[in-house]
Amino acid sequence: MSPVNNITASNGASSANTATASGATAFQVDSPYVHYAEGSIESDYLYDTTIVSRDIDSGKLTAKPTKVHYQFKTRTKVGRVGLMLIGWGGNNGSTITASIIANKKSISWETRKGTQEPNYYGSVMLASTTKLGVDENLRDVYVPFNEIVPMVHPNDIVIGGWDINSLSIGDAMRRAEVLPVDLQRKVYDELNQLKPLPSVYYPDFIAANQEERANNTIGGTKQEQLEHLRKDIREFKQANDLDRVIVMWTANTERYADILAGVNDTADNLLQAIATGHEEVSPSTLFAVASILEGAPFVNGSPQNTLVPGVIDLAERERSFVGGDDFKSGQTKIKSVLAEFLVNAGIKPLAITSYNHLGNNDGRNLSAPAQFRSKEISKSSVVDDMVSANNILYKKGEHPDHTIVIKYVPSVGDSKRALDEYVSEIFMGGLNTISLYNTCEDSLLASPLIIDLFMMTELMTRVTYRVKSDADAQEPEWQPFHSVLSILSYMLKAPVVPPGTPVVNALAKQRMAMENIMRAFVGLPPNNEMLLEHRAFH
């Protein structure tokens, strides 16, 4: 296993012994459509879908069941993987680093209720299960989510990254005041050896109240900064003998960047804008470009529009992966569940009002109007697809009133308080009001999402596919999935999807998609709740 706590301040050099994951899974599929080759799993998969056409004159719909023949190839060797966090010294970065060390070394700590053991609760991949099938007695059989296909484990990764503040990760952990003091004490010495690399700081993009933290920054032009970041990624990969590196933005929320023709609308224009130092190229976009050019998948965990059209164009051209936006941890996750429930129950949400206050540095940064606007946008679109799916409840142009308020209250620290009110129209013009009050530890909800995003992104670097047709004169070429990883949507508030692809926010649909796509990689049919083996007459 490769240590996570072995990064030096200046160059990311590692003293770890080289090791690779075996890629073993908890089960094997017995099917003529699945082949276990040396180093890979190959599956033939018939994807069932329904194509709907509408008669122009009568408006009558015709539904035609259709099968598409996919073949998937998943490399089983995970290898050595690194995670570079932008904003490594923030609450999320320091919390996830300390927590992985505690899990890797089985470090327990004392609380008022007794001894607490480390865990990965809150991670879908590591703390949830999925139905594999039924046994001979028709009883459900479940396996851990991360054992459907071979996946990297966080205990085996190397962590590094950047921050505009020079505090060691140990001191950053203490500053964050997220983890219990006894745990902080036990991991502090290791974390205190970890120093973030200098980062990119443009005062125009984050709140003015962050200026006092910015003592660890990269100078020069934007082009020089881009080359500096690319060099950081290369050196981190080489120094730690890594097979691949994944880069993730977990730093402060930026303001939205203006989308300008000739500036950030195409890959070439964006690269030229960086070369000329255009003011609308944000730090997060610069990191995304650096990652793409180095072949390192990039995930944006904050709400700003990092993945401008030029970034997506560049990712497609370079066949590199990007994903975003904004970690979906608490209030928005509940909203995507409750809104789906109400609309699918034939109940019409009229107004959704969300208020929350928090006292960590994220809340402080969001107290500035431009940064709050980025968060407001990412949280407000979460019900759009559910509303558009029901033209009985919502006529064209109708939408629930949706109000979002965020306030900075320093005394509550990382403990975020959220109040939501849902006012819905029910039978015969009646009204139903649901009020929720939620207190959560913000970084302890967000940090497991970093793990899940990392694990899913890494998996997608090892998967290729091709579509077969009887008309093919020769075998089509294997190719990676689309550069925009919409499969990450479950973990993100405002999922970025490939151009022309519908956005899905409903949480159950997002999880089902992730689960069933992974099942397809090993030739298993999608899970469903038909339960014909129980409902049919025996």
In angstroms, rounded to a whole number, what is the distance separating the alpha carbons of residues 207 and 460? 35
Q: Which two tokens stand for residue 424?
A: 């819905």
Catalytic-role residue among 104, 333, 375, 379: 375
Point out which residues pair with 369 in neighbouring strands: none
Strands (E), 180-306: 197-198, 244-249, 298-300
Instruction: Give which of 442, 440, 438, 303 is closest to 360, Cα–Cα.
Output: 442
For the chain, how big is the Rg over CA atoms in Å? 24
Q: Which two tokens stand for residue 385?
A: 């697809």
Q: Which two tokens stand for residue 294?
A: 């180095």
416 noted as active-site residue:
yes
Residue 138 makes CB contacts below 8 A (sequence gap 6+) with 533, 534
In angstroms, rounded to a whole number, what is the distance separating the alpha carbons of residues 191 and 101? 9
Amino acid present at 485: L
CA angle, 110 then 111 then 116, to 5°: 65
CB burial of residue 421 (10 Å; 0-12, 13-18, 19+): middle
63 touches 52 (CB < 8 A): yes
Q: What are phi and psi of 491, to 5 degrees?
A: -95, 5
In angstroms, rounded to a whole number, what is the distance separating the alpha carbons of residues 396 and 196? 50
In angstroms, rounded to a whole number, what is the distance separating the alpha carbons of residues 363 and 381? 21
Helices (H), 35-139: 91-104, 124-127
Amino acid present at 222: K
Catalytic-role residue among 156, 416, 420, 442: 416
Q: Which helix (H) or strand (E) holds 228?
A: helix 222-239
Helix/strand/coil (H/E/C) assignment for every residue in 367-388:
CCHHHHHHHHHHHHHHHHHHHH
Residue 533's SS3 state is helix
493 noted as active-site residue:
yes
Catalytic-role residue among 156, 163, 326, 414: 326
Helix/strand/coil (H/E/C) assignment for every residue in 415-442:
EEEEEEEEEEECHHHCEEEEEEEEEEEH
Q: What are phi and psi of 426, to 5 degrees?
A: -120, -160
* 49-74 burial code (b ≥16 CB/10 A, e <16): eeeeeeeeeeeeeeeeeeeeebbbbb
Cis peptide before 325 (omega within 30 of 0): yes
Q: Which two tokens stand for residue 76?
A: 């089983």
Using DSSP bridges, classify how beta strands 298-300 and 244-249 pair: parallel, antiparallel or unpaired.
parallel
Catalytic-role residue among 186, 335, 348, 493: 493
Residues marked as catalytic: 326, 375, 416, 493
